[in-house]
Structure 1
Amino acid sequence: MPQDSKDLRNLSEPVRFRRALTLLLMTLILPGSAQIAVGSKKAGRWAWRVLAGIFAVVVFVVVLSLIWRAGAINLMVSPTTLRFVQILLILLAIGWAALFVDAYRLGRPLTLERKHRLTFSILDGALIVLVVGALIWGSTIVSTQRDFVASVFGNGKKSDADKGRYNVLLLGGDSGTDRVGTRPDSITLASVDANTGRTVLIGLPRNMARVPFPAGTPMNKEFPEGFRWKDCAENCLLNGVYTYAAEHPALFPGDPNPGVTATMQAVEGITGLKVNYHVLIDLAGFRDLLNAVGGITLDVGKRVPIGGIGSPIKGYIEPGANQHLDGYHALWFARSRAGATDYERMTRQKCVMTAMLNQLSPQTVLVKFQGIAKASKKVVNTDIPASDLGTFTDLALDSKKLPVSSFSAVPPLIRTGNPDFELIRTKVAEAIGKSEALDKSSDDGDGKTTNTPSNPRTTTTPKKPSSTSTKPGKSSSTPSKPGNDVDDVASICKA
């Protein structure tokens, strides 16, 4: 291309206009190429070096994710990495804008006719706004993610898998004017295979009495015969452990969250499993989180009241298949007590957890990340360290491909007023053993064998139908009588 104005004037005006537009297009597609062609080759080469470095890093991360997905995720969510990416995006925005300005200069706008010069100027300005805006928006997303990771995960103490499993206690926190302190309204232990991600949900009723604590713990010394009526009267139930410990911080010197610690120890005493981490969800804010992800779709097996138990009933969630519930209705579906037992409610809560696991895709998280992060900071409290975020994200992606099984320590098998804890531990071990056997007995070793009748590869002996089973072809999120054992939560929650 001719490079000086005198040579350019020897070209026809339409050719000069096309040349100017080509320089902008080159800068958009391959920044620095316009400078290599007709401008400062040194500036163009620097731009190419930066692009080559970014491409090399992207290739490295892609290869790492194929070899070690958890490691790649840990690298990408590290606050240091995110800060570096945020600064890099801002610098790229400035540098790319400068290249567009230089490309405009190289296009020699003064040699163009007025209408072409105006078009050229507007297009250059629009491209600068588009590119800079996209990069600044990207830096904002990265900043939000960094703030989210730092706020929610922080620097908790790392806990290694126990016997090949991570056991994460999921607590739904509930507080109100009619209660003293905060009590977990929902208590579920998620036992996750550290290799396959296959998960067993262990439901524990909040009204379980006489819960034991591991030997040597402060609560065991205070209640050596279990959490009985001593100083806490009618509050001596599983969900009252949190409140008691929170009101007696002297038992846990230096512990910033004695209520959670005591509840984790109680669950260890009940199940015989080591609890690695906890996730405490504020049920009042859970609505915002569900709205942020666009709601969930559930089968509603029976009419569920909105309100009741101390407040007027405001309406109902009517029965029906494939109902899309927003945050308000999904929250009431999970926590409504009117006209239902605690055990039915536990089942509904598992349905909501399973629906979120199955329906929350990486694409949804990416598109709605800012809303999710904003809601999660208010909703979620956890001691999972940021360094383990990649491990659990990796396991969550694997678990989406597999059925979730369940055991609930509820009647008729377990009497919550006088529980047989040895029986509970035995049943928990059986549920986990049955889950692990699915991977060991898989014909192709892919860990995707289920023990539902429709899968011919399973070697699990079919269970006899119980009074809690749903009829073939029917899926109910609220069975009339809760089952203790469910080999696939999807069999009662088609989500």
Structure 2
Amino acid sequence: MPPTAVSERAARIRFRRALTLMGFTLVVPGSAQLLAGNRRVGRIAVRIWLVTLLVALYLGVRLLVAPSYALQLATSPTFMLALRLYLLLGAIAWAGLFIDAWRIGQPLSLRLQHRRAVVGINGVLCFSVVGTMLFGAHLAGAQRDLLSTFASGDLGGAHAGRYNILLLGGDSGSDRWGLRTDSMTIASVDARTGRTVMIGLPRNMSNFPFRKGSVMAKQFPKGFDCDGCYLNGISTWAGDHRDLFADSEHPGVDATIMGIEGITGLDINYWAMVNMKGFRRLVDAFGGVELTVRQRIPVGGLGKDVTGYIEPGRRKLDGHDALWFARAREGSDDYSRMARQKCVMTAMLTQISPSRALTNFQEIAKASTAMITTDIPSGALGDFADLALKARSQKVSTVSLVPPQIDTARPDIDKVQRMIANAIARAEGHAPKKVVTAKPAAGASAGTSGAADGGRDVVTGGSLGSRNDGYVANETDDVAAAC
């Protein structure tokens, strides 16, 4: 064989060897070192890789058997910290193995074109693998930052088999956030099945009692009966009398809970304050939400000009429009707005896609951090996420303490508590089901059909029903059918 041919063949062999070493490093980190380098380093790397594969296999089988286990991992700050450190250290170590594999391939012995190819391929492999691991570490860090916004501790006990979580909605402006809440809803969740009853409280309720023995009950023994005192004004009053709540980090919320417990007779387990602007960002992060728009919903108002409308029809709304669908007051009343809010909450519960959460996790984590202030402990998140998955496949009930059932100026507290008890009993299967449908009212504007019975019903303020006859989504055992 001519010397030139021998030289060419030797060059190709060296080039293939260099590529093979890099390929082995990609498939089994440390294998290149076992073959031609520092075998001690290779053994350590291969063992770590095998342990990683075994752990991944175990987790895969575990998740197939119990999918909710993924939620426990995703809501564990300890696991997220361990995962982040593993990915960071793994990225550095794997990059070192790629560089060492390039060295073992003796690049200086290669021809120039082969040397350039090896450098390029090694660089692409190295940066691809390391970049992916670093991005994973970033996501784990973002999730841990989100979990850090929750209080420390574990899930507390349920009350009569249910967890009662108060959801408060407000604006993020410095003149409003934490002062007056736009919406107040209790999500009463069955601790075993996840079956949920949403209890809506009007912000303009007055003359109601506080929980017996509470600070507010001592200040208002006859109820919240002062001039201009409404349910959404309790937090403002508490803020002006912080000395009465010396041990409280959130006196406005604590005082509001005292009022809501006095009204409903329920014990509140936890609360969550939802920033409306953060909610808008969250809806966008999940790719929007589908809602039935029954009338033109104005965008704007609330002391400013109306800038447009959300047109009727079955529509996928982005965060901006979903927020205005829930908040719009122009041409409607507070009670129709409460009904629309129930529709948005139910749609979010039933339509949120776990796959979408994975693909847009970073933005969702940022939006969630900006959206929520809560006393829910981080140790309870896995349990609540599991209950939320169960709730997705079930009907959601609502009962709202609004006209025509309740006079918000002078509420009949005994009737209020009977309504709540009956709604919970029906949700738990202890009473006949009741689905309230809207009744046609003289002079009311007609809208599109969509009630549970399929007939044409009154639509007022964008919600099925009217103030006189009741808005369907405010009191029903199936909110989805009413929306």
Establish whether TM, by shorter chain, passes 0.5: yes
**CA–CA distance in 1 between the matches of 2:279 and 2:133?**
31
1:485 is aligned with what amino acid? E
Is contact 2:434–2:476 with CA below 8 Å preserved after alignment?
no
Tell me if 1:371 matches 2:363: yes
Match of 2:465 in 1: 480
Tell me if 1:197 matches 2:182: no
**CA–CA distance in 2 between the matches of 1:71 and 1:461?**
33
1:490 to 471, 476, 480: 480
Corresponding residue SS for 2:465: coil
* Shift in alpha-carbon separation, 1:124–1:59, aligned structure 2, 3 A: same
1:462 CA displacement: 6.5
Tell me if 1:19 matches 2:17: yes
**CA–CA distance in 2 between the matches of 1:474 and 1:117?**
76
1:423 is aligned with what amino acid? K
1:66 CA displacement: 6.3
Mapping of residues 241-390 of structure 1, within 5 Å: 241-321=234-314, 323-390=315-382
What are the superposed Cα offsets for residues 84-112 of structure 1, whole Å, 9 maximum, x if unpaired?
A: 22221111011111111122123233343
Match of 1:154 in 2: 151
**CA–CA distance in 1 between the matches of 2:477 and 2:68?**
28
Match of 1:446 in 2: none
Match of 1:437 in 2: 429
2:198 is aligned with what amino acid? L
Corresponding residue SS for 2:159: coil
Match of 2:387 in 1: 395
Mapping of residues 166-205 of structure 1, within 5 Å: 166-174=163-171, 182-205=179-202
What are the superposed Cα offsets for residues 220-260 of structure 1, whole Å, 9 maximum, x if unpaired?
A: 1111221112xxx21x1111112112221122221010111
Corresponding residue SS for 1:437: coil
* Shift in alpha-carbon separation, 1:479–1:100, aligned structure 2, 3 A: same
1:319 CA displacement: 0.9
Match of 1:456 in 2: none
* Shift in alpha-carbon separation, 1:243–1:70, aligned structure 2, 3 A: farther
**CA–CA distance in 1 between the matches of 2:106 and 2:382?**
51
* Shift in alpha-carbon separation, 1:74–1:22, aligned structure 2, 3 A: same
Corresponding residue SS for 2:234: helix
Mapping of residues 98-117 of structure 1, within 5 Å: 98-117=96-115
2:216 is aligned with what amino acid? M
What is the TM-score with the length of structure 2 in the denominator?
Answer: 0.88
**CA–CA distance in 1 between the matches of 2:76 and 2:86?**
15
2:439 is aligned with what amino acid? S
Corresponding residue SS for 2:163: strand
Mapping of residues 454-465 of structure 1, within 5 Å: 465=437
Aligned length, in residue pairs: 460
1:149 is aligned with what amino acid? L
Tell me if 1:124 matches 2:122: yes
1:208 to 205, 208, 212: 205
1:156 CA displacement: 6.0
Structure 2 unmatched ranges of 5 or more: 1-5, 441-450
Match of 2:444 in 1: none
Tell me if 1:37 matches 2:19: no
Is contact 2:436–2:476 with CA below 8 Å preserved after alignment?
no
1:62 CA displacement: 4.7
* Shift in alpha-carbon separation, 1:176–1:36, aligned structure 2, 3 A: closer
* Shift in alpha-carbon separation, 1:380–1:102, aligned structure 2, 3 A: same
Is contact 1:192–1:198 with CA below 8 Å preserved after alignment?
yes
2:439 to 467, 470, 474: 467
Corresponding residue SS for 2:115: helix
1:51 to 42, 49, 52: 49
2:416 to 400, 421, 424: 424
1:284 CA displacement: 3.6
Is contact 2:438–2:465 with CA below 8 Å preserved after alignment?
no
Mapping of residues 81-100 of structure 1, within 5 Å: 81-100=79-98
**CA–CA distance in 1 between the matches of 2:205 and 2:388?**
29
Match of 2:160 in 1: 163
Report the identity percentage: 46
What is the TM-score with the length of structure 1 in the denominator?
Answer: 0.86
**CA–CA distance in 2 between the matches of 1:288 and 1:180?**
17
**CA–CA distance in 1 between the matches of 2:240 and 2:138?**
41
Q: Which shows bigger deviation, 15-24 or 374-383?
A: 15-24
**CA–CA distance in 2 between the matches of 1:372 and 1:205?**
30
RMSD (Å) for aligned C-alpha atoms? 2.7
What are the superposed Cα offsets for residues 439-477 of structure 1, whole Å, 9 maximum, x if unpaired?
A: xxxxxxxxxxxxxxxxxxxx9557575528555178986
**CA–CA distance in 2 between the matches of 1:196 and 1:311?**
44
**CA–CA distance in 2 between the matches of 1:350 and 1:193?**
18
Structure 1 unmatched ranges of 5 or more: 1-7, 439-458
Is contact 2:206–2:408 with CA below 8 Å preserved after alignment?
yes
Is contact 1:159–1:277 with CA below 8 Å preserved after alignment?
no
1:268 CA displacement: 1.5
Match of 1:451 in 2: none
